[in-house]
Amino acid sequence: MEAPLAERIRPQKLGEYISQLHLVGEQGSLTQQISKGIIPSLILWGPPGTGKTTLAQIMAQESKRPFYQLSAIHSGVKDIREVIEKAKQSGGLFTSKNPILFIDEIHRFSKSQQDSLLAAVEKGWVTLIGATTENPSFEVIPALLSRCQVYILNAFTKEDLEALLKRAINTDAQLKNKKIDLKETEALIRLSGGDGRKLLNIFELVVNASESDTIVITNDKVSHLVQKNTVLYDKTGEQHYDIVSAFIKSIRGSDPNGAVYWLARMIEGGEDVKFIARRMLILASEDIGNANPTALIMANNTFQAVTTIGYPESRIILSQCAIYLATSAKSNASYMAINKAQQIVKQTGDLSVPIHLRNAPTKLMKELGYGEEYKYSHDFPNNFANQEFLPKEIIETKFFVPGENSREKELRTFLKNRWKDKYDY
């Protein structure tokens, strides 16, 4: 059976790897480690189709180490132990040439499966490389995570994806014999969702469907062919991110019907209950926030409940939470506030803490006036003293702007009464 295009042009060395220069560029952290022959156990965290498996294979090849690969979807503790035993026999213990054990989608391993890796990593029988699309802080057990470095792969840019297409045209033996005019790329990139593997699959589908000697790639041609062959892409599970996006946008848009429909699509597709609950937990703060603070409590309790219960009963709890969040008042004020604050921090750097706000644990600091003019709020009427809490360079900068919902209108009135001489609320 012929290998797909993504497999045929898979990079074999770092110089062929597209993007992720912070990791594999000349000064990249992984480039430096490979050149020294020292590779720690690590987790590669990034969106699907950004080359995590390829990077692991290149690291093994360039460091001349035995390479073993498991998929967390199809492997159990028995498989892990068998591979670890082979690795112990094929590599020298406690050397820089320990075999590499690559585990794809490591976030799908249960706690007991992850526990079974600890001794091998701890004793140096293998160098573990795990790949995940999920935040390892949530999905990898602390004992294992503490033994690994985490490296983040960024989503491909439009330029990265176009470079990937051009390399396929110029280097693949089958495509080099065809006259391909890459006239438009927007539809290819949009339908790929930033996934390099999916991009190449769609591109190959379009090329193979063309019968003329010269193949002109246009947005209309791509959209038409992919719509006719949608089933080819449903099976891969890569609609996962499109569907969760529709789910979140339905809740944000206060449509409980849309929310429940997309929730059902995820449940029927076998989506992890924790993944769904975690997305609602984020939304409860990002899109509802102080318009209804109970939403965060509801979402957090949902996360804890479904983690304990699992399917099929969790579907009811997820539905209740999704409907509650969809029908709640909305505000992104907290989200916008922290975004603006972080932007100011990046622009202004490490501004000094005003002297009246500084801690004064020593005699010298007290003599220097640390904390001297600080007003203890509880010593004043209504537990409030009008004073400055920001560095002098950004005095009176307003980060939090209350929304127009009833709860935040109350907050606006509260703040206006407190800060009427300073901030325009």
Q: Tell whether 35 is covered by a domain.
A: yes
Give the confidence band of 95 by pLDDT, cuts at 50, 70, 90.
very low
In angstroms, the CA 164 to CA 9 distance is: 9
User: CATH number of the domain that 305 lies in?
Assistant: 1.20.272.10
Q: Tell whether 6 is covered by a domain.
A: no
pLDDT digit string, tens, across residues 131-159: 998 888 878 899 999 999 999 999 899 99
Sequence-ordered strand ranges (E) for 174-292: 179-182, 214-217
Give the confidence band of 123 by pLDDT, cuts at 50, 70, 90.
confident
Q: Tell whether 425 is covered by a domain.
A: no
Do 372 and 316 share a structural domain?
no
User: CATH number of the domain that 52 lies in?
Assistant: 3.40.50.300
Q: Tell whether 344 is covered by a domain.
A: no
412 and 404 Cβ atoms separated by less than 8 Å? no
Q: Tell whether 146 is covered by a domain.
A: yes
How many folded domains does the chain comprise?
4
Kindly report the three-state secondary structure assignment for every residue of 114-167. Answer: HHHHHHHHHCCCCEEEEEECCCHHHHCCHHHHCCCEEEECCCCCHHHHHHHHHH
Q: Tell whether 332 is covered by a domain.
A: no
Summary mean pLDDT of the chain: 85
Kindly report the three-state secondary structure assignment for every residue of 290-326. Answer: HHCCHHHHHHHHHHHHHHHHCCCCHHHHHHHHHHHHH
Asked if the model's pLDDT at residue 236 lies above 60, the reply is no
Do 406 and 296 share a structural domain?
no
**Is the pTM above the cut of 0.75?**
no
The mean pLDDT value for 320-345 works out to: 92
Phi, psi of 94, deg, nearest 5: 55, 35
390 and 423 Cβ atoms separated by less than 8 Å? no
Asked if the model's pLDDT at residue 29 lies above 60, the reply is yes
Q: Tell whether 306 is covered by a domain.
A: yes
User: CATH number of the domain that 180 lies in?
Assistant: 1.10.8.60
Do 255 and 307 share a structural domain?
yes
324 and 316 Cβ atoms separated by less than 8 Å? no
Residue type, 291: A
The residue out of 290, 310, 326 marking a domain boundary is 326
Do 293 and 249 share a structural domain?
yes
Could you list the residue range(s) of the whole structural domain that residue 129 is in?
Answer: 20-152
In angstroms, the CA 240 to CA 105 distance is: 14
